[in-house]
Structure 1
């Protein structure tokens, strides 16, 4: 792969030939933000100018190995690694601007009735589906949303992916899902959007350019649900052409597009090239690049070499590279270090309660250990993760500290209080994280209390036959030196926090897919994974961990707690009972539909229960430093939906931005947002 990069160096700008410039004068619209006449056009977040006054017409960016796209079907995927690509070729009803505010996309406007139970979206009438050659295949109408919605709700078509959001908000959606779940595959495959409507699902298309959703209860946040892929369109002719299996597994050569870009070239685990969609409905209302060239790189160390050679226009920095730059004041990049905004993901330890060995037999030692509450509490109370935080932000590692399961900024009560502050109050850790340069731990645990917790866990587990140290299987992508170093630092955090006699990370590698090689065969003891909001309500986070719900993403796909609950061993019965109590709290909170403040208070109690019992353990926020020719404050910055990596309206500069410029961008952004 590195040799491919070397040949790629020679032709860095050769891709420009044949790509026409994209006009960008006009209105606030589907791309979000304001725009002027170049591919480097900005929003008002910038302090005024690109570093050189000239922007990039072509963008060279990257993704790291192990994060290759796994599904081109935007209705079927639930992964950011897929959405980061597909958001550029398919649009939804609503997009967002760089401040996270909703803006029109396929819907030019929308409104709701007085109690927010009926939401009406008025579609544009100038949207076409095109194939990857840019040839028009069909015209988009309201029926496309009916077809897409039926696909999502049909258990045998979409296999429960992205179903939880409409099932909990739209009339009849859950019943239709249950109906299809009970059918055999062949029968469910024959169902159409007409069958869905006949079943009483609360979606309607009164004309070709109007879509109406009827909610089960007042749902003031339904516009955030509508921004997510569960409400995306599907072209009826393509679905019919490919059939159920074919459409579920659609690849880029078959896909039809209505978004700002097309895929010019895709080489798996190597590269992607995006070019402008010549029939994009918002071509005159936003700015695009003439081409986006994305390379898969083995790790950020290789990325640094490429950035130095001007083969990349932006790069997040590994700890080692950041150390190299900051330790030498004469380093050419010393005044170009830019701290990024936090991503929208809250990262957590997700335990696997049904871990298997490579031969398919149960990993009983781990399964017994992780079922024990005191053992899990040691992850939460005893681990000193500051060295691990430094892997992401060496300069300000404490900005990465996370004490909550739900991401900050997802929703606020009527007093403007962030929901996570309600969780903090329930946990008894309300307050500031910092005191100047010194960390003030919100969850204070003394060395004596940690030692007592460790002893309790070891005593209780020894009594049921657990041997020590407990080996915790943890996997990282092979060949990625940054991922390997991250895992090694995390392994050392366990040793430094607990000694060698309690928990040891058993490091393993996978080649390309964590899902296929590790998660599905259930080999992991735990993973560290981030969840971003699909819509603006706490149930979107805590609802992923509950029992008795096939749509609970982590409970089904990572922790396997639903599998354990079917027939728990004696040592797992207390664990299952804790999950039952947590599930009851979540369901009780979700049943409160007429009082948002009371709803959030109830969810905060449920989340605090989950955290106090360490059913999943908060880990970190991703706050990186970078070198960049892109003003991040002009990118889409939504807490909801898949569209944050859409390559539209980005302000860029031929010269790299400086630390001082980024500080000004941040100030201007904060001032404008407030």
Structure 2
């Protein structure tokens, strides 16, 4: 199989790209509202990016999962209340040491083709075929399981070419599938909701060859709730209910119709909803039409688990788009970025509520605010939110600063101009000693590319510029560089090496792959971080030749972060201790200004006739939340009062089920 470059392309989201999820389609799920509903309705919505492939075991792209989660079921799924429930595995057993998972596969579940004709029966060996295909194609999500399943890393690297030595075994006669893990993972089943651990029929894979996963209705087989009926690029995607689906009683939508939306006129979403074209639409309070919206029918969704954060390019090498017209200016900015006090100053200076208000209006600016990378309430530590441990660790690191700033979710509580000015004064003094004089005449300028067609992101950049002006009186400036889609994407998002990153400051987002803080915090690991290249550093796993970021890594002491990660990842027998250790690592990351969390996905105003909380809710983990299974459509617009009532009922149900699951 040969050596492979284990590149990782996952749930990183650029703030200039609006996916269906970013536009608010995947809100939380659960109970009935007062809107009436009926079975067998059509569901209409919009999408913003066509999938490049339907190969669900290969792709790490959201735009694939948004579709294939409706076409193919895996072993387990999330339900409407954030609980793992059986899917094609009717049950499972876990060994006493936590390293062996044995799944009992449902009998007589059919694979069908695009016409609904039965092709084969789903069997345990289909999962072996799926994982082998993922490894052989160097799946974009292989990193999720490479260090989990015994023998997989050696096979993926080419060290071992015998897949039978990998820790996945199927017994088709007994109907069982068994995984052997290197170490216990309490969150293993959450990984099983991701496409890389989904089944593929071996005969169909062989028949299709390189055309497996082609974006066409016949590109894959179906065992899920829906079958694709149309893929019309930049126009329409359509599904129909799968009449052979094993769990038809929980499919309430007959047809799904998705229309392409290019994002240029956000006001068209509201018009589409009022015209009956869509069943739901995000609203934009800063736009003129909003004054005509019936506020009694505006609902605010909860924050989702995807976190968007700002970060510096710690070792910039590419200056294709820049205001730095001399080497001295490049050096001054780089020296400033390598100064911890300077990075902290920027973090404290950002008025996150004002920035977020450009997206959701003044009322929602604070609702959207996120101050940690791992969501504050993502997991519990001894019954308390994870974020409380991050705050405690921050205060332990620097009580002077962090007694005055809080990472509590949904509050603009890290914005503190006094702290920003104090940190900047320290930075100026240190930089002066290094020969970098900062003044209004010689400011530190941070290049920050922005998509030229995104009015919302251009407004956000202007808000950041104002924040820096207020805090630093013209001595630090944000240079917003407007770029067209292709050059902007290449500069900020789609590059493959740290050397290609073309910015000083950028904002992107990350959503979880599994239900553990590691899914967020490992992304910046200097060993094998998924997005370490985004901060200008090449991780060891992809490094070829000389490490040009070696001095930078030492300057920011990134090795200390790796030590904290290693300590947390090593704890596999006590979740409270594990999460506490990750909170310590995150506190280091935030205090050092490596990232500045700014906002969450979700927490947006919208109108809908979807019955609230009838979707799968995985808290953004895995792929199953993209499914339209369980979803119900009502006959009228849901009012804010109805939504709030349903929300409280859903929250109570989530708490009840979570407590039961913990017993």
Task: Tell me, yes or no, if structure 1 residue 293 matches structure 2 residue 258.
Answer: yes
CA offset digits 1:300-347 (Å, max 9, x no partner) = 2221222232222211112314x754xx5xx45221010112122122
Alignment deviations for residues 508-549 of structure 1 (CA, whole Å, 9 cap, x no partner) = 234369655743153344442222221122211111111222
Q: Which deviates more, 163-172 or 426-435?
A: 426-435
Task: Give the structure 2 partner of residue 166 of structure 1.
Answer: 145
Query: Paired residue for 1:547?
Result: 526
Q: Which residue of 2 aligns with 1:387?
A: 354
Residues 379 and 497 (structure 1), Cα distance of their counterparts in 2 relative to 1, 3 Å cut: same
In the TM superposition, 1:164-243 aligns within 5 A as 164-178=143-157, 180=158, 195-197=162-164, 199=165, 201-208=166-173, 209-243=175-209
CA distance in 2, matches of 1:515, 1:240: 35
Which of 605, 609, 621 in structure 2 is aligned with 1:625? 605
What TM-score, normalized to structure 1?
Answer: 0.80
Q: Which residue of 1 aligns with 2:18?
A: none
Q: Does 1:653 align with 2:627?
A: no
Aligned equivalent of 1:485 = 459
Aligned match of 1:4: none
Match of 1:531 among 510, 513, 531: 510
**Among 276, 281, 292, the residue aligned to 2:241:** 276
Q: Secondary structure at the match of 1:606?
A: helix
Task: Select 1:410's aligned residue among 378, 383, 391.
Answer: 378
Counterpart for residue 476 of structure 2: 502
Match of 2:47 among 33, 41, 63: 63
Match of 2:422 in 1: 449
SS at match of 1:400: coil
Question: Could you tell me how far apart the structure 2 residues matched to 1:417 and 1:264 are?
Answer: 47
Count of matched residue positions in the alignment of Structure 1 and Structure 2:
600
1:356 aligns with 2:335: no
Are 1:400 and 2:368 matched, yes or no?
A: yes
> How many angstroms does 1:105 deviate by?
1.4
Tell me: CA distance 1:583–1:573, structure 2 relative to 1, closer, same or farther (3 Å): closer
* 1:369–1:470 contact (8 Å) kept in structure 2: no
Question: 1:31-180, aligned counterparts within 5 Å?
Answer: 45-47=31-33, 49-50=34-35, 52=36, 57-64=41-48, 67-154=49-136, 157-159=137-139, 161-178=140-157, 180=158
Decide which moves more: 269-278 or 611-620: 269-278
Structure 1 pair 111/294, CA: closer, same or farther in 2 (3 Å)? farther
TM-score by length of 2: 0.81
The equivalent residue for 2:644 is 663
Q: Distance in 2 between matches of 1:488 and 1:372?
A: 25
SS in 2 for 1:108: strand
Contact map agreement 1:382 1:450 (CA 8 A) in 2 = no
- CA deviation after TM superposition for structure 1 residue 651, in Å: 2.6
Match of 2:344 in 1: 377
Deviation at 1:573, TM superposition (A): 4.7
Please say if residues 109 and 122 of structure 1, whose CA atoms lie closer than 8 Å, have aligned partners that are also in contact.
yes
Give the structure 2 partner of residue 599 of structure 1. 578
Q: Distance in 2 between matches of 1:462 and 1:432?
A: 31
- For the 8 Å contact 2:341–2:424, the answer to whether it is kept is no
SS in 1 for 2:448: strand
Tell me if structure 2 keeps the 8 A contact 1:122–1:210.
yes
Whole-Å Cα distance in 1 between the matches of residues 272 and 374 of structure 2?
A: 36
Which segments of 5 or more consecutive residues in structure 2 lack a partner in the other structure?
Answer: 1-27, 396-401, 656-663
Could you tell me which residue of structure 1 aligns to residue 308 of structure 2?
A: 347
Q: CA RMSD in A?
A: 3.5
2:25 counterpart residue number:
none
Deviations 1:23-66 (A, max 9, x none): xxxxxxxxxxxxxxxxxxx986224x32x5557811121134xx
Alpha-carbon distance in structure 2 between the residues aligned to 1:85 and 1:417:
36
Distance 2:404 2:184 in 1: 33
d(CA) in 1 for partners of 2:438, 2:199:
54
Three-state SS of the structure 2 residue aligned to 1:294 is strand
Secondary structure, counterpart of 2:350 in structure 1:
coil
1:605-638 residue CA offsets vs partner (Å, 9 max, x unmatched): 2221111112222121231111111134111111
Q: CA deviation at 1:660?
A: 1.1
8 Å CA contact 2:348–2:414 kept in 1: the answer is no
Name the CA shift for 1:368/1:247 in 2 (closer, same or farther; >3 Å): farther
Which position in structure 2 is the counterpart of 1:318? 284
**1:583-612 residue CA offsets vs partner (Å, 9 max, x unmatched):** 122122212223333222222222211111
CA separation of 1:446 and 1:614: change in aligned 2, threshold 3 A: closer
Query: Deviation string for 1:179-205 (max 9, x for gaps)?
Result: x2x69xxxxxxx6xxx212x3x22111
Note if 1:335 corresponds to 2:288: no
Flag the 1:569–1:116 CA change in 2: closer, same or farther, 3 A.
closer
Partners of 1:544 and 1:101 in 2: CA distance: 25
